[in-house]
Amino acid sequence: MTIEIPKGQRNKYQIDHESGRIYLDRYLYTSMVYPTDYGFIDDTLGEDGDPLDAMVLLPEPVYPGVLVKSRPVGMFRMTDEAGGDDKVLCVPAGDVRWDHIKDIDDVPGSNWMRSNTSFRSTRRWSRASS
């Protein structure tokens, strides 16, 4: 997946898929920060016409534009004003510290809560079935 927004940021960056350039879309004027590194899964297409949104649980944030080899463990089925806006929850691929995570139920409670509560103020979500 490609990272657009590092964990802990209030800046919302986006990658222009035509030029490949990263731009500042807006600043979040709330106390919310991105709880995980956030971006998209390359070569996919979501209901909104953009690549599927994804979050990856990393111990430290990485820079926008960085490609992180990751594997999905679950999905947040979400909607916004435009319709379906699902988020895929991932862990780093090939990192033995995450090998035991096979499903969203395996994600430690603190990471699970931080990952989903940050979107409650702006999105409606429901858990995807296995």
Nearest to 88 by CA among 100, 72, 104: 72
With 90 as the cut, is the pLDDT of residue 70 above it? Answer: yes
Q: What is the pLDDT of residue 88?
A: 92
Which residue is it, tokens 């995980």? 36
Measure the CA–CA gap between 102 and 98, rounded to whole angstroms: 9
**Architecture of the domain made up of 2-121:** Alpha-Beta Complex (3.90)
pLDDT greater at residue 80 or residue 19: 19
Q: Which tens digits make up the pLDDT trace of 1-49? A: 999 999 999 999 999 988 989 999 999 888 888 889 999 999 998 888 8
What letter represents residue 92's amino acid?
P
For the full predicted model, state whether its pTM sits above 0.85.
Answer: no
Q: Which residues are registered as beta bridge partners of 2?
A: 40, 67
Q: Which tens digits make up the pLDDT trace of 6-16? A: 999 999 999 99
Question: 4 exposed, middle or buried (CB, 10 Å; 0-12, 13-18, 19+)?
Answer: buried
Instruction: Catalytic residue, from 85, 86, 99, 106: name it.
Output: 85
Where do the domains of the chain lie?
2-121
Q: Which residues contact 41 (CB under 8 A, 6 or more apart)?
A: 1, 51, 52, 54, 88
Tell me whether residue 95 is one of the annotated catalytic residues: no
